[in-house]
């Protein structure tokens, strides 16, 4: 097998982190191969540094659905791929592109009618973690998928940047650091900023000498600005690249977060994570690995996977039901575990 195309245009950071065991298995099985990844622009820079990806093909969709499809088909066809591995769980386009590009072997899950476009397919499963949802596709190639551990590909340069950044903020190497990730892409996944404020206040009172670091993208800076100014936090929202964020989370003893990309990065760097879940199913999306705590409530309408809440009288009930006291206890338990 000389040239492999992996198709996953999900476009979220978490998707890319959870994809890594599958990419590693492919690269190790076909050690002399060239592996390219079809993805969306949002994650192109991140995956350009990935240890198991040789190159990226970016699906811009900027010129319209059909014109961009035609351009991508020609681009893919010119690269003469031997195998296409469709790892996007539902996208018809992800299967159509390698079919039109005449890649001889094409594997993936048979959903949305795309089994007709694949040379070998399997039924999809939504009752397993996304890591295994990806890996089970590789069994169509009889690939050993026992190695399922996550990785993150930050470097010593990123670690050095973080140490310097923390030093400037008055954090020594001996200080205990907790990451608090306030935001997440979907509004329905968010926990109230007031709740986070209460947890931060209690943790800093219970655990002397603890430094609380706020993480997130620049778009989430507005959330931090609503926190009380009296809270003893170090605001690093928007001050790191994604790879530097990996180094920062690696430095932390615990990460408190909702279901988000940073949650998966924290799990990948082996930082114990307390994850708050509402509209999504932790069976599929929990922080992968051991040493993590998931907090969820049995609200009748979840998991709904909606970006806007359908409940009129009690909106965001699944997240509002999560109490601050149980979150404080979970963080404290992870600190002393």
pLDDT number for residue 102: 97
Q: What's the whole-number mean pLDDT along residues 218-232?
A: 91
Q: Is residue 102 part of a domain?
A: yes
Which tens digit of pLDDT belongs to each residue from 38-96? 999 999 999 999 999 999 999 987 666 666 788 899 999 999 999 999 999 999 999 99
Question: DSSP letter string over 168-199?
Answer: HTT--TTSEEEEEE---SSGGGPPPHHHHHHH
Length of the chain: 337
Q: Are residues 116 and 199 in the same domain?
A: no
What pLDDT score was predicted for residue 68? Answer: 74
146 in any annotated domain: no
Rounded Cα distance, 51 and 155, in Å: 11
How many domains does the chain divide into? 2
Q: Does 65 share its domain with 185?
A: no
Question: What is the spatial distance between Cα 151 and Cα 138, in angstroms, rounded to a whole number?
Answer: 18
Identify the residue whose tokens are 């986070």: 196
In a domain, 52, yes or no: yes
Q: What's the whole-number mean pLDDT along residues 143-160?
A: 96
Whether residues 51 and 169 share a domain: the answer is no
Residues 89 and 185 in one domain: no
- Burial class of residue 252, CB neighbours in 10 A (0-12, 13-18, 19+): buried
Using only C-alpha atoms, what is the Rg of the chain? 21
Q: Are residues 50 and 116 in the same domain?
A: yes
Rounded to an integer, the average pLDDT of 137-157 is: 96
Domain boundary at 108, 141, 174, which?
Answer: 141
Q: Is residue 147 part of a domain?
A: no
User: Does residue 149 fall inside a structural domain?
Assistant: no
For the beta carbon of residue 36, count every other beta carbon within 10 angstroms: 19
Please identify, among 95, 114, 141, the residue that sits at the C-terminal boundary of a domain.
141
Whole-model pTM?
0.95
Classify residue 38 by its DSSP letter.
E
The pLDDT score that the predictor gives to residue 66 is 67
Q: Answer whether residue 92 is part of any domain.
A: yes
Same domain, 104 and 164: no
114 and 160 within one domain: no
Residue 1 has pLDDT above 80, yes or no: no
Q: 121 with 171, same domain?
A: no
Residue 174 phi, psi (nearest 5): -85, -15
Q: Is residue 242 part of a domain?
A: yes
Domain that holds residue 40: 3-141
Same domain membership, residue 182 and residue 113: no
Q: Do 300 and 170 have their domain in common?
A: yes
pLDDT of residue 298: 95
Last residue of a domain, one of 141, 167, 183: 141
What is the Cα–Cα distance from 109 to 123, expressed in whole angstroms?
5
CATH number at residue 319: 3.40.50.2000
Residue 151 lies in a domain: no
* 176 and 325 housed in the same domain: yes
Average pLDDT over residues 221-240: 93
pLDDT tens-digit map of 94-115: 999 999 999 999 999 999 899 9
Shared domain for 211 and 179, answered yes or no, is: yes
* Mean pLDDT of all residues in 195-221: 94
């Amino acid at each position: 097998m000389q040239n492999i195309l992996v198709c996953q245009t999900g476009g979220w950071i978490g998707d890319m982190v959870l994809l890594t065991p599958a990419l590693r298995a492919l690269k190790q099985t076909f050690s002399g191969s060239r592996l390219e990844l079809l993805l969306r622009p949002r994650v192109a820079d991140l995956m350009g540094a990935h240890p198991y990806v040789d190159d990226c093909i970016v699906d811009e969709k900027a010129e319209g659905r059909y014109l961009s499809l035609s351009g991508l088909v020609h681009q893919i066809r010119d690269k003469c791929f031997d195998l296409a591995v469709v790892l996007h769980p539902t996208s018809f386009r992800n299967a159509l592109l390698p079919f039109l590009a005449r890649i001889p072997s094409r594997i993936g899950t048979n959903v949305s009618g795309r089994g007709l476009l694949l040379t070998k397919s399997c039924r999809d499963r939504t009752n397993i973690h996304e890591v295994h949802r990806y890996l089970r596709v590789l069994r169509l190639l009889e690939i050993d998928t026992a190695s399922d551990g996550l990785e993150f590909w930050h470097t010593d340069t990123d670690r050095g940047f973080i140490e310097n950044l923390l030093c400037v903020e008055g954090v020594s190497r001996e200080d205990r650091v907790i990451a608090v990730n306030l935001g997440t892409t979907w509004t329905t996944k968010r926990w109230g900023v007031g709740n986070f404020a209460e947890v931060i206040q209690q943790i800093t009172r219970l655990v002397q000498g603890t430094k609380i670091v706020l993480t997130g993208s620049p778009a989430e800076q507005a959330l931090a600005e609503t926190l009380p100014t009296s809270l003893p936090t170090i605001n690093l929202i928007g001050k790191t690249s994604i790879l530097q964020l990996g180094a920062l989370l690696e430095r932390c003893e615990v990460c408190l977060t909702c279901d988000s990309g940073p949650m998966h990065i924290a799990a990948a760097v082996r930082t114990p994570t307390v994850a708050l879940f509402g509209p999504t199913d932790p069976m599929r999306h929990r922080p992968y690995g051991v040493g993590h705590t998931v907090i969820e409530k049995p609200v009748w309408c979840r998991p709904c996977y909606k970006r806007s809440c359908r409940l009129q009288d009690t909106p965001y009930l699944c997240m509002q039901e999560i109490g601050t006291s149980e979150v404080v206890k979970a963080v404290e338990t992870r600190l002393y575990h």
